[in-house]
Amino acid sequence: MSVRTQPGPRERLLEAAHQLIYSQGVNVGVDALLKAANVARRSLYEHFGGKDGLIVEVLRSAAAADDADYRRTMDAAGDNPRERLLAVFDRLGEITATPGFHGCRYLAADLALTDPDHPAHEITRDYRRHVHDLLERELVTLGHPRPERGADQLLLLIDGTLAAGATRPGTDPAAAARELAECVIAP
């Protein structure tokens, strides 16, 4: 009967990479990742095959967490699709105001990994399509005339909010986007 003293090297590495890759970018060195996770060099290659594999798993788990965050946010807003969608932008207001926030990790990864064949792009693409569908579903139940286009617009507002939150802090981009989101919801 042993006490679970600390997570295994795989979990430690994932968590450390989650934070370090966000704060330092995907070009952060392997040494820095290993040191932050307090993990042996070999464990990285055993569990993830290499740095690229680690990057992919970090994005995959981050996407799962962010998806859960979207659902939690919308569910907490009740059943009204309008309120559920607007709640997303209130949540974005919290996220962009969080200390250490500096933009969308998926966009940062896409822009930094210039090789179009890097497997990370598939993760980010799937994640965006997933969020798009999440938004579109709400618009459908709202009776929106063009739910797919509407979801495009909401996703564009989300990306714009995260970009502005990173590059023009203090301008409350989430509130600005929320106003425009109302135009999307009630066209």
Partner DNA sequence: ATATGTATAGACCGATCGATCTATCTACAT
Partner DNA sequence: ATGTAGATAGATCGATCGGTCTATACATAT
Rg (CA), the chain: 18
d(CA 85, CA 91) in angstroms, rounded, equals 10
**Closest distance to a second copy from the beta carbon of 1 (Å):** 44
d(CA 144, CA 71) in angstroms, rounded, equals 20
The reply to whether 42 sits near DNA by the rule CB under 7 A is yes
Residues 107-166 contacting DNA, CB under 7 A: none
From the list DNA, a second copy, none, which binds 31 (C-beta under 5 to 8 Å, kind-based)? Answer: DNA
From the number of C-beta atoms within 10 Å of its C-beta (0-12, 13-18, 19+), residue 168 rates as exposed
Candidates 25, 50, 78, 169: give the one binding DNA (CB under 7 A).
Answer: 50
> CB within 8 A of 132, min separation 6: which ones?
151, 152, 155
Residues 2-41 contacting DNA, CB under 7 A: 2, 8-10, 12, 27-32, 38-41
d(CA 175, CA 69) in angstroms, rounded, equals 19
Query: Rule CB under 8 A: which residues touch a second copy?
Result: 23-25, 27, 102-104, 106-108, 110-112, 114, 124-125, 128, 132, 149, 152-153, 155-161, 163-164, 166-168, 171, 173, 176-177, 179-180, 183-184
Candidates 15, 18, 47, 172: give the one binding DNA (CB under 7 A).
Answer: 47
Instruction: Using the minimum distance from each CB to a second copy, give the nearer residue, 9 or 16.
Output: 16
* CA torsion angle 182 145 154 187 (round to 10): -20
Binding site for DNA (CB under 7 A): 2, 8-10, 12, 27-32, 38-43, 45-47, 50-52
